[in-house]
Copies of this chain bind each other. A is one copy, B any other.
Amino acid sequence: MLRQRIFSQALRPGQRLDEAALAADLGISRTPLREALKILSAEGLVHIKPRRGCFVAELTLDDLEEIFPIMAMLEGRVAFEAALKAGPDELKRLDALHEKLEKHAAARDVDRYYEVNYVFHNALQELAGNRWLQHMIGDLRKLLRLSRHRSLKLEGRQQESLAEHRALMAALHGRDAAAAEDVMKRHLLAQLVALRRMTARQEAA
C-alpha cells in the first residue's frame, strides 16, 4: 500500500511521513507500519532519520545520471543472456509484445506503451533466467519510479524508442547476443539523454 502511494505521488518525494497519521489513514497500527517503512528504507524509497522521522526519497538528476548507466549494464546483460537462450516460442511471444508496442505507438497511447514496455522487459528478464540480475534490476526500477519523468512524452522520443526496440528484436532473431546487449545499453542511455532534455526544458520554464 505504501509503495503504491509513493508511486502514485499521493506521498510526494521529500514529504515527511507522520507515523500516527499514516497508520490511522491506512487503518492499521504503528507497529506494522513501521515494519513496512523499514523495508521501504532498505529499498531506498524512503529515508529514515533517527528520532527525526521518515521522508519519501527524492531522486535528483545526478542520481539518474548514476543509475541509468548501471541499468544499461544490467539490462544489457539481460539482453545478452536472453539472445543466447531465446527459442522459437519465446521469440514469438516477444514478437507479439513488440507488435503491441508498435500499435500503441501508432495510436500515440503513451500509458499503454509504458505498460507493454514493462511487460516486454520483464519477459526478457525471465528468459535470461538470472534471478539475482532480475532482483537488482527490479530494485533500481522501483527507485526510478520515484522520478515521475516520462521521457516518452518528448517530441520524437517514442519513435526513437520504437526504433531501438526494432533493432533489439532483429538482434534477438539473429541470435546476436553482443548486438542485443549493445542495443539495449544504447536504449537505456538514450532514455537518460531524453530525461536530460526534459529537465533542461523544465528548468528553463
Q: Is A136 an interface residue, CB under 8 A from the partner? A: yes
Which residues of B sit under 8 angstroms from A36, Cβ to Cβ?
38
Interface string of A36-79 (1 = CB under 8 A from B): 10110111100000000000000000010011011001100100
CA distance A38 to B41 in the complex (A): 10
CB distance from A2 to the nearest CB of B (A): 13
List the number of copies, as a whole number: 2
A: number of interface residues (CB 8 Å)? 25
CA distance A35 to B42 in the complex (A): 11
Return the contact of A31 from the options B31, B77, B130 (Cβ within 8 A).
Answer: B31
CB distance from A82 to the nearest CB of B (A): 14
Q: Given contacts A35-B35, A39-B38, A43-B42, is CB(A136)–CB(B136) below 8 Å?
A: yes
Q: Is A34 an interface residue, CB under 8 A from the partner? A: yes
CB distance from A1 to the nearest CB of B (A): 15
CB <8 Å contact, B42 and A133: no
Given contacts A66-B131, A132-B140, 17 further A-B contacts (CB under 8 A): A31-B31, A35-B35, A38-B38, A38-B39, A38-B42, A39-B41, A39-B42, A63-B131, A66-B132, A66-B133, A69-B130, A70-B77, A70-B130, A70-B136, A73-B73, A73-B74, A73-B77
